[in-house]
């Protein structure tokens, strides 16, 4: 498995306290699934740095300061880089993957590899696990699942499956699908070769600063709630409950958006950041 070349001390105690983990500290499948869900419940997904016009730092110390010690979240590169360090500190093997997000795409090849996911090995398990605490969508995994084709997984109430998809390359192309209540919908596709941290520096800069990237143009914030899933997408606040009930309302302006992000998502909004373009900052 691929490992980081930047091995700096990791504050495992601080991380586990941040996600509220009081379970065992061992490298096994149950711990992996538990840590995955605890991370998602504790640390929101957000793109506030990209909205401010800068690529967030992926330096280990900066990630710890922001996501562990600060009242902030992050997007896929931040979440999964942090989670990978925690897993390695506990004795898991971790490979960094690059995936193509296919939600809304006609073909897999229409989307570039811009999403970060993890392939995790636990001692004694017959197959690696797909882990991903940084996918900003309601179709995201809540718990890590085995890399096993054509098997339906029930991860903390959500339903997922992995399929192998034909393509022109030499390695298996895996497609993660989520059950929408009516059909299986593709989320992202990946092959199992390892990527290096330097690759994500390029991906991160592109996704954060490209004027065509949705993350550079509008706030996108989400978190798990005791009742389901809460999403802020631009000026739309959407709550999807576990029973399938969806409620949506439009925010009235930047002042309300700031209050919602701070109160409902538990995040500190950077001073001077305008969340809703066309509105003035508080």
Which residues are designated catalytic? 76, 115, 132
Geometric angle at alpha carbon 127, from 67 and 124, rounded to 5° = 90
What's the chain's length in residues? 282
H or E element at residue 198: helix 197-209
DSSP state at residue 137: S
Among residues 164, 129, 161, 125, the alpha carbon closest in space to that of 146 is found at: 129
Structure tokens of 64?
Answer: 């710890």
First to last CA, the chain: 47
Geometric angle at alpha carbon 205, from 199 and 207, rounded to 5° = 100
Backbone phi, psi, residue 191, to 5°: -110, 160
DSSP state at residue 29: H
3-state secondary structure of 26: coil
Integer Cα distance of 5 and 198 in angstroms: 10
């Amino acid at each position: 498995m691929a490992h980081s070349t930047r091995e700096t001390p990791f504050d495992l105690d601080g991380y586990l306290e941040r996600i509220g983990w009081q379970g065992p500290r061992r490298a096994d499948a149950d711990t992996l699934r538990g840590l995955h869900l605890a991370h998602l419940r504790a640390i929101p997904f957000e793109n506030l740095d990209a909205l401010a016009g800068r690529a967030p730092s992926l330096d280990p110390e900066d990630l710890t300061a922001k996501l562990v010690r600060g009242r902030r979240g992050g997007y896929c590169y931040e979440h999964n880089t942090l989670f990978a360090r925690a897993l390695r500190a506990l004795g898991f093997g971790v490979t960094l993957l690059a995936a193509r997000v296919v939600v809304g795409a006609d073909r897999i090849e229409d989307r570039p590899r811009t999403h970060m996911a993890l392939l995790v090995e636990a001692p004694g398990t017959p197959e690696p696990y797909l882990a991903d605490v940084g996918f900003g969508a309601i179709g995201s995994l809540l718990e890590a699942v085995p890399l096993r084709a054509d098997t339906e997984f029930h991860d903390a109430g959500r339903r997922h499956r992995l399929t192998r998809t034909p393509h022109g390359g030499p390695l298996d192309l895996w497609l993660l699908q989520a059950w929408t209540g009516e059909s299986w919908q593709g989320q992202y596709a990946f092959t199992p070769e390892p990527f290096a941290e330097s690759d994500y520096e390029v991906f991160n800069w592109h996704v954060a600063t490209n004027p065509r990237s949705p993350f550079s143009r509008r706030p996108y914030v989400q978190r798990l709630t005791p009742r389901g899933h809460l999403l802020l997408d631009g000026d739309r606040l959407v709550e999807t409950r576990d029973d399938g009930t969806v409620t949506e309302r439009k925010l009235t302006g930047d002042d309300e958006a700031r209050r919602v992000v701070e109160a409902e998502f538990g995040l500190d909004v950077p001073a001077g950041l305008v969340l809703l373009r066309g509105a003035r900052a508080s």
